[in-house]
Amino acid sequence: MPVLSERTEQILRHLVTDYITTASPVGSGALTEQHGLNVSAATVRNEMVKLEEDGFIHRPHVSAGGVPSDKGYRFFVESLPIEADLPGGARETLEIEIASVRREVEEWARTISSTVAELIGTVAFATPPMLRTFRVKQLELIHLQDTSALLVLILHGALVHKLLIPVAAPMPLEYLEHTRNRVASVVADRTAGEIEANMPRDMDALETDVIDSTLGVLRSEEARSTPRYEWRGLSELLAQPEFADSGQGREIVDVLEGGETLSAVTSNAPTDGSVGVYIGSEMGHEPMQSFTVIVCRYGRPGEPGGKVGLIGPTRLHYSLAMPVVRHAAALLGRLSAEVAPQGAA
């Protein structure tokens, strides 16, 4: 990204802020008059020409003012404080609403998405708490009869699975114990992907069957844990000026109802509790070219968790939206930790 002078950065920040507020192209005269830049409108105009050449802004037509590009919004977002304070009114609203459903886990995602949507005036989404990855906590192999054994898998999160494992011939208890110990050394505290990456090459038929059965259980749990997005605020989003006369309403409904695009966009959300911001063309999904997605994960590693976020126009009030999403995720994270089952960690 080109290095901008202090004055050019200041002009770009003011231009982005003004456009977010007005939804109208911002001219050099307005910037000069409203922000006390202590330079002439002609100087500001020249700076805007440089910003356009570098791809930070564009003009709808030759005589129009400037409109931020995705690159301009990215610069603006990166210039915001990482831990910006959340206004007290928004903080209080979030905390009151989530406290009202504290004991109703199934209501958390619906309540937080509704509240964020109302605070920001756009679509907000949340997923209910669930384990993101699954690991084997304990494995037992129990003799049933000469032709079968019982595999008992206890996963982190207190999930228990029992499977019958056929055996070709009667096997002594000592051999089953040996198999159990050997397999446990391969699968204990590992995800399906980690198990596959560490598979020994000298396994016998029974060991292979037990490990394959374990992988099947883990993959099944992963498939079932695909998040269900609760979303609210579509009418608020479509009321924004840039969407009033466009056909993008159907596209965003498809994104929300299908879930695949939203899941793909949010899959790269940071895992350290920070907020991910994905602007327009950065997402690489055609239906999302005019939108910004802000998302934050909640829940500690090894415990149930999920995501909170919003979809808005690229002309979004980032300085409010980012801390709102971050605090909403923090609130759900605290509640999720309180109800995590013993042994989930």
pTM score, two decimals? 0.76
φ/ψ bin of 131: left (φ > 0), alpha (ψ from -120 to 50), beta (otherwise): beta
Q: Which pLDDT value is given to residue 344?
A: 43
63-67, 89-93, 124-128: lowest mean pLDDT where? Answer: 63-67
Any bridge partners for residue 151, and if so which? 141, 163
Whole-number Å distance between alpha carbons of 58 and 68: 6
CATH number assigned to the domain covering 6-79: 1.10.10.10
Q: Which pLDDT value is given to residue 314?
A: 95
CA gyration radius for the chain? 26
Domain ranges of the chain: 6-79, 88-131+227-339, 136-224
Q: Which pLDDT value is given to residue 1?
A: 65
Contact call for residues 280 and 289 (beta carbons, < 8 A): yes
3 state DSSP class of 66: strand
- Amino acid (1-letter code) at residue 105: V
Q: Is the pLDDT at 307 greater than 50, yes or no?
A: yes
Q: Is the pLDDT at 246 greater than 80, yes or no?
A: no
Q: Is the pLDDT at 225 greater than 90, yes or no?
A: no
Decide which of 1.10.3470, 3.30.390, 3.30.70, 3.40.1350 is the CATH code for 136-224: 3.30.390
- For residue range 166-187, what is the model confidence (pLDDT) as tens digits? 887 888 889 999 999 999 999 9
Any bridge partners for residue 148, and if so which? 145, 166
Q: Which pLDDT value is given to residue 43?
A: 95
Contact call for residues 262 and 271 (beta carbons, < 8 A): no
- % the chain with pLDDT above 90: 60
Q: Classify burial at 153, counting beta carbons within 10 Å of its beta carbon; exposed 0-12, middle 13-18, buried 19 or more.
A: buried
Mean pLDDT value of segment 216-229: 81
Q: Spell out the CATH class of 88-131+227-339.
A: alpha beta
- For residue range 109-140, what is the model confidence (pLDDT) as tens digits? 999 999 999 999 999 999 998 866 788 999 99
Helix axes 173-187, 205-224, angle to 10 degrees: 40
